[in-house]
Copies of this chain bind each other. A is one copy, B any other.
Amino acid sequence: MRADARRNREKVLVAARELFARDGEGVQIEEIANHAGVGIGTVYRHFPTKGALLTEMVRTRFQRFTEIALAAEEIEDPYEAVATLFTESAIAVEGDAGFQLAMMGVEDLEWEGIEQEKAAFAAPASRIIERAVKAGAVRPDMSVDDIPMLMCGITSTMYFGPGGGEWRRHLDLILSGLRPN
């Protein structure tokens, strides 16, 4: 690949990241191109469709979750590990409207492309939850399948709520609801 091509690809990615974070799926290709300082054609040279470009954004963000889960697994206290998993994940999503919408499932992105990332996250996350359940630190019926649901709720509060950190209260309620009985 030619040097300028690699450079432009990177510029497109950076611009897309910023604008997708601000506007979600609503970003226009032309705007991304302008912001990156390249032509529309160049965007299409690197990504076959708008969806492919945005899926790329989501994939990157998702990988961050896996890092967080891996780090949380190292925490001694089983409950703290769970709390950290949720809290850090929420923080990672804060300020990225596009990803928030993606988490909520309202953007029609090609989630197919990120199965692999999902699995990579599910493994450590499962271990964290299982450990907490065994230790009696959370409800006995909690499972890894609750994570998308709960994150979805927190995320939507984040997206919907006026500016501030209202989502922290929501998270707080959920964490307290997760304690046994």
Contacts and interface: CB of A to CB of B under 8 A. Distances in A.
Interface string A160-181: 1100001101101111111000
A87 interface: no
A177 B54 CA distance: 36
A84 interface: no
Interface in A69-101: 101
Interface in A135-165: 146, 148-150, 152-157, 159-161
A120 interface: no
A58 to B, nearest CB: 15
A105 interface: yes
Contacts of A148: 160
A161 to B, nearest CB: 6
Given A153-B153, A176-B177, A146 B169 contact: yes
Contacts of A105: 159-160
A170 B150 contact: yes
Nearest to A161: B149
B170 A173 contact: no
A13 interface: no
Nearest to A156: B156
A84 to B, nearest CB: 18
A180 to B, nearest CB: 10
A136 to B, nearest CB: 16
B169 A173 contact: no
A153 B157 contact: yes
A157 B149 contact: yes
Interface of A: 101, 104-106, 146, 148-150, 152-157, 159-161, 166-167, 169-170, 172-178
